[in-house]
Amino acid sequence: MGTIVFVEDDPTIRKLVQAALRASPHAIHFAADGREGLALVERVLPDVVFTDVSMPQMNGLELADAIRARPALAKVKIVFVTASLQREQIERYLAHGAVAYLGKPFTMADLRQHIDRLVPA
């Protein structure tokens, strides 16, 4: 059973993900911005963090940098969830230490597939 942190400022999307992963065996934690997300990640030490890019307080890229900067969090995988999927932006995400990205709007199947791939059962 793994642990997942989902960082997203839009409450509807948070609600959607929560609903979609109701039946998931993994523990799922939510945060509404990068700063809150970082605190959550440090606390729960998830296997994977799904994060929005454009957020108040601390955006997704800053969150990724902060995680990568902490040796304790070296094993945490990062997935960006974003509507901006131009080639240079994708390169940027990878440069910030992402292992994958999830384009908005995403299907629940996509989401579950990523989780299955990245989180040990």
Partner 1 sequence: MPRSLALYIAASSIYAALVFLAVHATYGIELGRAGVRLPDPEALLSSIDAVSFAIWIGLSLIAAIVLYSLAQALEGARDVGQQRQDEIAAIFVLGQALSGTLELDTIAERFLASAQRSLDPSVTAALYIHDDAVEGFRLVQERGPHSGRLGAPRYSATSLPAPIRTRVVDHQQSLVVSDAAASAAWPPLATGLVEPAWVRAFAAIPLVSHDRLVGIALFASSRAGAITADTLQIVALGTQFVASAVRTALTFTEAEARADREAIVNRVAQRARASLDPEVVLRATVEELGRALGVQRVVAALGARPDDLRVAHEWRAPGVPPLGRGISDLAAIRQAALTGRTAQVSDEASHLATPIVIAGELAGALSLEADASRDWSVHDVRLVEAVARELRVAMESARLFQARQHENERLLALQRASAVVAARSTTRDVIDEILRTASSLLGQASASIYLWDAAAEVLRLAQNADPAGRNVSVVLARGDGMSGDLLAKLEPVVVNDYAAWAGATTTGVETGLRAVLGVPLVRAGSLLGAIVLRSYDAPTAFTLDDARLLGLFGDQAVAALVNAEAFERQRAAMDQLEKVNRAKSEFVSIVSHEFRTPLTGIQGFSEMMKNEDLSLAEMKEYAADINKDAHRLNRMITEMLDLDRMEAGRMTLHLETTDLNAIVRDSADRVRPNAPGHPITLTLDPALPLLSADRDRLTQVVANLLSNAVKYSPTGGQIVVTTARDGSSARLSVRDHGMGIPADQLETIWERYSRVETEKTRGIQGTGLGLPIVRQIVTMHGGTVWAESEIGRGSTFHVVLPLAANAQAVQA
Site string for partner 1, 14-33 (x = CB under 8 A): -xxx-xx-----------xx
The Cα–Cα gap between 2 and 15 comes to: 20
The Cα–Cα gap between 55 and 45 comes to: 21
Site string for partner 1, 44-83 (x = CB under 8 A): ----------x-xx------------------------xx
Q: Where are the beta strands (DSSP E) in 1-121?
A: 3-7, 27-31, 48-52, 77-82, 100-103
Residue 100 interacting with partner 1 (CB under 8 A): no
Contact residues for partner 1, defined by CB under 8 A = 9-13, 15-17, 19-20, 32-33, 54, 56-57, 82-85, 104-109
